[in-house]
Amino acid sequence: MASSAAEVGPVESNGSKKRAPDGERGSYRFKNKKNKTGNILTTTGSNEEVLLADVQTLLKKHTLEDSSTDAENGKSESSLPERLSEVEVTVAEISSTGDGLALSPDSKHVYVVPFTAPGDVVKAKIFKHTPNHHYSLADLIKVEKPSPHRDDSLIKCPYFASCSGCQFQMLPYQYQLAHKKTIVEKAYQQFSNLTPGIVPPVGDTIGSPLQYEYRTKLTPHFDGPPDSRRSDGRKGIKRSFKEVPPIGFMKKGTRITIDIEDCPIGTEAVRKGMKSERKRVANQIDTYRKGATILLREDTKRIAKSEFNAEEAKESAEKNGAVIEDRGDYIHEKTCITDQNGKSTEYIDNFAFINPAGAFFQNNNSILPTFTSYIRDHILPPDQPDHKIKNLIDAYSGSGLFTITLSSLFTHSLGIDISPSSIESAVSNARLNGLPESQANFIAADAANLFASIESNADETVVVIDPPRKGCDESFLRQLLRYSPARVIYVSCNVHTQARDVGVLVGGMKDVDGGFGPGNGVYEIESLRGFDFFPQTGHVEGVAVLRRNAAEDKADTKGNEAAGS
């Protein structure tokens, strides 16, 4: 390990989570939430909304032809099975949330069953009905008849189908990639409000070079003492553990932490760190009064082969659990950091990034060279060597991933992030990679107000946006439309909010004039594609490339005209 237990402890949290009345079922993720978006952004892209959209689409597909016949025969929706009863169902498809969707015999209700594949005949136990939305949530009890798509010999984790982390270990990888393409397609069909002809075909999902041992960061946790309460701190009560609690991740669909000794999607260094930290916590459990989250972050030391000492590397491996990897001209020595305030180093091709170990950075290093190369190949107009673009604005820049890896294509690159600590890391990373301030600089500002100080000509500018899962807010989209840069690259970890936002950029926003008249859209979609940053899971990263509409009706646009919101 790269940090000692004496110096570093997990981040402590409040006591153990309260159990539901049945002692098993916690607050499931599919719960009603208030829509906190404004009038224009009518979806939050939450799992609840995405699941409901998929359920409605499936029901519509299967009930339109039967509705008139049912009415003639006086049929109505069958009564639902009792809660906690078991049903046998056939899975029709996988939702964009990663769960299987199975139709009731009358095709008027859907059972949501995790860890299933299309064609599986399964026994499932119902734990929640949502009759107003015509679906029920269920646990997988048994696969009665496996689908041709299912191959259980592919499963590498003994906790699969219990742990909430992975959904697809039983599916061949090419099938996973094909499914994730449909996630992007459905996102734009259901959430963009664009007509089908406006949305181009989605490209095939680009896969991860590693399907296991790819995650460079894991955060297992353990709950507080069973008798702890949230009010303990206020009342000055100090609880203690009578035994080592489960250390791991949540059981699917519950708030119960299950004990997980190893996670095969973590890198080898992270898995070694997990083993070491579990042992340390067990040895020191009497010093804890609360639950805690454990940080496991991979750190890489790059050594030129000419300077590599095999004996020293062997000693490091024995002492720190280091993993030695041959990377051509270099040797990578990888260790696991557990200190939230420690620094971790990652390499993407020849770019180096040093960040606080607890800070956000993409967790699958194996796909980052391909990913950044794709952005690089698509950020400028294709087949237009005489283009005028020379400026890059990287909104939501974080520690500088895009600003730094793309900077050689531009005269000037500007990264903007709301977090001063991220900007500090970005500035340091830029200098680490030999980029002077004149070529790449960074400012801390809320993305909703970032265009207020932009002076570069919009015709000569590309904007890259990589917002959090909630997507962009209306103020940001309003400013972006008014500024109307020549191109926009929208990277997203939530393709549903991406589809929503792209729909605004393409379809327009009321009373906002980006040069084509108030309320008119400014962009057309050049390409859409997914990237599989998280194999074995239902997540897909989306990249949308937008180009400004033809310039005949475009007014001359300067950056300073977009100031304000």
Domain ranges within the chain, ordered by starting residue: 11-26+217-345, 47-150, 187-210+364-379+388-549
Nearest to 355 by CA among 409, 412, 408, 417: 417
pLDDT for res 71: 42
417 annotated ligand-binding residue: yes
Give, as one character, the DSSP assignment of residue 389: -
Give CA–CA dist 510/94, Å, rounded. Answer: 36
Nearest to 546 by CA among 511, 498, 475, 476: 498
Q: Please answer whether residues 27 and 20 qualify as being in contact, where contact means their C-beta atoms are separated by less than 8 angstroms.
A: yes
Residue 192, amino acid: S
Give CA–CA dist 395/383, Å, rounded. Answer: 26
54 annotated ligand-binding residue: no
CA atoms within 13 A on the CB side of 305: 6
Residue 469, amino acid: R
Examine the pLDDT at 560 and tell me if it is beyond 70: no
Give CA–CA dist 153/24, Å, rounded. Answer: 29
Examine the pLDDT at 296 and tell me if it is beyond 60: yes
Alpha-helical regions (H) of 192-263:
232-235
Give, as one character, the DSSP assignment of residue 12: E
pLDDT tens-digit readout, 369-380:
999 999 999 999
Q: What is the third-level CATH fold of 187-210+364-379+388-549?
A: Rossmann fold (3.40.50)
Task: Give the residue with greater pLDDT, 25 vs 476.
Answer: 476
218: left (phi over 0), alpha (psi -120 to 50) or beta: beta
Does the domain made of 47-150 have the CATH classification 2.40.50.140? yes
Cα of 401 vs its chain's centroid, Å: 16
Give CA–CA dist 139/55, Å, rounded. Answer: 17
Residue 438, amino acid: S
Give CA–CA dist 382/300, Å, rounded. Answer: 36
190 annotated ligand-binding residue: no
Give CA–CA dist 61/46, Å, rounded. Answer: 23
Tokens 């906790």, residue located: 159
Examine the pLDDT at 22 and tell me if it is beyond 50: no
Burial class of 509 by CB neighbour count within 10 A (0 to 12, 13 to 18, 19+):
buried
Q: Please answer whether residues 292 and 11 qualify as being in contact, where contact means their C-beta atoms are separated by less than 8 angstroms.
A: yes
pLDDT for res 25: 53
214 annotated ligand-binding residue: no
pLDDT tens-digit readout, 482-504:
999 999 999 999 999 999 999 99
Examine the pLDDT at 4 and tell me if it is beyond 70: no
Examine the pLDDT at 10 and tell me if it is beyond 60: no
User: 310 vs 277, 326, 346, 452, 477, CA distance in Å?
Assistant: 27, 12, 22, 54, 54
| Phi, psi (degrees; rounded to nearest 5) at 258 | -105, 145
pLDDT tens-digit readout, 223-251:
999 888 877 778 888 888 999 999 999 99
pLDDT for res 360: 87
- Average per-residue pLDDT in the chain? 88
Catalytic residue positions? 493
Give CA–CA dist 523/504, Å, rounded. Answer: 9
Widest pairwise Cα distance in the chain: 83
Q: How confident is the model at residue 193 (pLDDT cuts 50, 70, 90)?
A: very high
pLDDT for res 86: 97
Dihedral (CA of 229, 263, 533, 117) sign: negative
Q: How confident is the model at residue 309 (pLDDT cuts 50, 70, 90)?
A: confident
For 94-108, 196-210, 232-246, which range has the lowest pLDDT when averaged over its residues?
A: 232-246
Q: Do the two domains 47-150 and 187-210+364-379+388-549 of this chain adopt the same fold?
A: no
Examine the pLDDT at 268 and tell me if it is beyond 90: yes
Give CA–CA dist 98/199, Å, rounded. Answer: 24
Mean pLDDT of 105-111: 92
Task: Give the residue with greater pLDDT, 466 vs 318.
Answer: 466
Q: Please answer whether residues 212 and 265 qualify as being in contact, where contact means their C-beta atoms are separated by less than 8 angstroms.
A: yes
pLDDT for res 312: 81
Q: Are strands 100-103 and 110-113 parallel, antiparallel or unpaired?
A: antiparallel
Enumerate residues 6+ apart whose C-beta is below 8 A from 81.
Answer: 87, 126
pLDDT for res 172: 98
Cα of 31 vs its chain's centroid, Å: 20
Mean pLDDT of 84-104: 97
Examine the pLDDT at 558 and tell me if it is beyond 70: no
Give CA–CA dist 375/536, Å, rounded. Answer: 24
